[in-house]
Structure 1
Amino acid sequence: MNSAIKETNFNFPGQKDFYRGKVRDVYIFEDSIAVVATDRISAFDVVLPKPIPYKGQVLNQIAAKSLEATKDIVPNWVTAQLDPNVTFGKKCEPFKVEMVIRGYLAGHAWREYRDGKREICGVLLPNGLKENDKLPEPIITPTTKADKGHDEDISREEILAQKIVSEQDYVLLEKYTRALFERGTELAAKKGLILVDTKYEFGKYKGEIFLIDEIHTPDSSRYFYSDSYEKNQQANLPQKQLSKEFVRQWLIANGFQGKEDQKTPFMSEDKVQEISERYIELFEKITGEKFVKAPAENLTERIEKAILNHI
């Protein structure tokens, strides 16, 4: 079994702070940050016990390509790719919302709809839809951005009423979200994929809005295969997905949805290897490129050296 990066614990010259997210370790400097994409995997806002080899590299490199392909729409935080697992960029002040946009009724939105809800984040949905149906038009269903615990659905009206984001900024966030989703949809179509739903995060740097975090990765997005979509919908068959949904479904099948009284199921080495292989498949399908595995030896030393050399 190849080694994987569960966590990093560096202390760099000029480092001001450190933040460990569910998946990323963030080293904070005066005006910039170094973000290490570890191999941790989370689902239902819970970090699972075992890291997945190459997952961090997959996410970091898909995000790098996607950010480069959308920088004409909105500027993004990235200034340098230091390592297969490390991105360096501007230290932005994040907005406390995640902009989720959905073109199809899948995942969380479907589960809410199936249970009888016809309004999600203030958006009304028509009756008579089934799982994975294309929506009449893409809808924005924001969530709060929790530092710990679960993100919660929130409507545009609640965001403005609670002054989480100013109306002037929120109008721009919506505009950027729709334009990014349109671009992501076009890029996915060229690879024989449907971009089902995704999320974008934004922040401010010197008064300007920037796109931050990762975009269009299998952790932040859901994809279907376009060639089998219509046939599967008509036959009421599940869609083959390119996303982290296969991990969520495995957890649900084993009685885990992140609730307080639930324990994460045991992950065998075979299951870890299977998830790793699926992530590599996702990279190759989304990018259309062969995945080149970074050296698996001395992972943390390699990452530390890359950041040290840059700063």
Structure 2
Amino acid sequence: MSLADSVLAVNNDLPIRTDKPVHSGKVRSVYWLTEADSARLIAERGYDVPADTPLAIMVISDRISAFDCIFHGEEGLQGIPGKGAALNAISNHWFQLFKDNGLADSHILEIPHPFVWIVQKARPLKVEAIIRSYITGSMWRAYAKGEREFCGITLPEGLQKDQKLPELLITPSTKGILTGIPGVPEQDDVNISRADLEANWQAFGFEKPADIDLYEKLLKEGFGVISKALADIDQVFVDTKFEFGYVTDRNGNSKLIYMDEVGTPDSSRIWDGAAYREGKIVENSKEGFRQFLLNFFPEPEIMLDKNRMPEREALARDTALPLSAMMDVSKTYTGVAEKVTGRKVELSANPKAEIIEILKNQYGLVD
């Protein structure tokens, strides 16, 4: 098995039966099933959803994105070995822990393969739910320049870089470009305050004003569950992004759930506990890859300046990163997954062929 063969880089070309365009994001691709296949699976598999719920197959990839670009490596490596399986394994673990702790369900109905989720259609909140326990990254850069107010919250004077914050900080931002909301610029990823959410709860996708409290409660409790479990393996949960949405259960009740992914090295910062106690930061998340890119390219400003996007895209397209760097990222992702789940991440010789075989023979979704 060559290393390149074990990587699933292209995940939007599987022969899964669908009558809608495949939606492909930076890492995952979503195949919406036909009405007939959705209804059949709900009946056959006994999912706790209304009989007419649209279902999708969500396939993760091993692609690595940073600074809004997809990067590749030497020797034809179009992604990070083990990354997709590691991300799914970590999310699956946390979603189950949330359920065990009575927090909330997720959009996942079944996991047919380490790269694949069967999910129900959710009505997503238009909020990137970001929660922080330490001051670092972009927040620290802004604080160091004198900013003290973040998303309507005023931070105290005298904080140091990478210091634990006095309390958990919720710093949401817009998900997608929202129009017509007073005081919220019409661009993606704009910081918003609790007051913005309260004044415009419907525009942000909340079904009732009280659900703002519920979203904050689930955000804090979810962070707490992951933080405690990571502390048990001497890892520091620094900050993370959650996404929420509504689904309807079999009885027609609407409920707020966790969706997308949670607590992964892609959506979170995770630090090594022993190193942090010695005053050093050892990243066990994608942040380490971002730092590598800033040190690797002669002009790091290109990565940080949104106005230089064409140059950034050219660098990502034309540069095969060293194999050693790609494998370092692989070790980070699989290492976190194995610590969290207690199980080894196995590299598949041909993940795409495996996925097709399972979805064809066990689920009847491939012609």
TM-score by length of 2: 0.77
Instruction: Report what 2:161 is aligned to.
Output: 131
Q: Do the aligned residues in 1 keep the contact of 2:112 with 2:358 (CA within 8 Å)?
A: yes
**What is the aligned counterpart of 1:44 among 28, 49, 67?**
67
Which protein has the larger Cα radius of gyration, Structure 1 or Structure 2? 2
Cα distance, 1:244 vs structure 2:
0.7
Q: Note the alpha carbon deviations across 1:274-298, whole angstroms, 9 max, x for none.
A: 32222222222333433322x222x
Tell me which amino acid in the other structure corresponds to 2:212: Y
Which blocks of at least 5 consecutive residues in structure 2 are unaligned? Answer: 36-53, 73-77, 178-186, 249-253
RMSD (Å), alpha carbons: 2.1
The residue type equivalent to 2:91 in the other structure is A
Say whether 1:296 aligns with 2:336: no
State the match for 1:235 in structure 2.
none
Structure 2 contact 285–332 (Cα < 8 Å) conserved: no
Q: Which of 221, 233, 250 matches 2:292?
A: 250
1:223 aligns with 2:270: yes
Q: Which residue of 2 aligns with 1:2?
A: 4
Corresponding position: 1:177 with 2:231: no
TM-score normalised by structure 1 residue count = 0.90
Residue 282 of structure 1 corresponds to 336
Correspondences of 1:156-195 after superposition (within 5 Å): 156-162=194-200, 163-166=203-206, 167-195=209-237
Provide the C-alpha distance between the structure 2 equivalents of 1:153 and 1:47, rounded to a whole number of angstroms: 25
For the pair 1:151 / 2:186, whether they are aligned, the reply is no
CA contact (8 A) 2:64 2:70 kept: yes
1:71-150 matches, cutoff 5 A: 71=99, 72-146=102-176
What does the per-residue CA deviation read over 1:165-185, in whole Å, with 9 as the maximum and x for residues that have no partner? 442222211111011111111
SS in structure 2 of the partner of residue 47 of structure 1: strand
Distance in 2 of aligned mates of 1:82 and 1:110: 41
**AA paired with 2:22?**
F
Number of corresponding residues: 303
Distance 1:15 1:66 in 2: 32
Identity of aligned residues (%): 33
Aligned counterparts of 2:352 and 2:345: Cα–Cα separation in 1: 21
Taking a change above 3 Å as real, the CA distance of residues 286 and 150 of structure 1, as seen in their structure-2 partners, is farther
SS in 1 for 2:22: strand
Check if 1:60 corresponds to 2:98. Answer: no
Amino acid aligned to 2:306 = K
Q: Distance in 1 between matches of 2:136 and 2:340?
A: 19
In the other structure, the counterpart of 2:359 is: 307
Determine whether 1:272 maps to 2:326.
yes
Cα shift readout 1:215-245 (whole Å, capped 9, x = no counterpart): 111111111222332331xxxxx31121111
Report the Cα distance in structure 1 between the residues aligned to 2:133 and 2:160, rounded to whole angstroms. Answer: 14
Q: Aligned runs of 1:22-37 on 2, under 5 Å?
A: 22-29=26-33, 30=35, 31-37=54-60
- Cα 1:5–1:68 change in 2 (3 A) is same
| Aligned partner letter, 2:64 | I
**3-state DSSP class of the match of 2:9?**
coil
**1:199 — aligned with what?**
241
Would the aligned equivalents of 1:191 and 1:288 in 2 still touch at CA under 8 Å? Answer: no
Verify the 8 A CA contact 2:230 2:237 in the aligned structure 1.
yes
Taking the aligned partners of 2:17 and 2:305, their CA distance within structure 1 comes to 38
Query: What is the alpha-carbon distance in structure 2 between the residues aligned to residue 213 and residue 38 of structure 1?
Result: 14
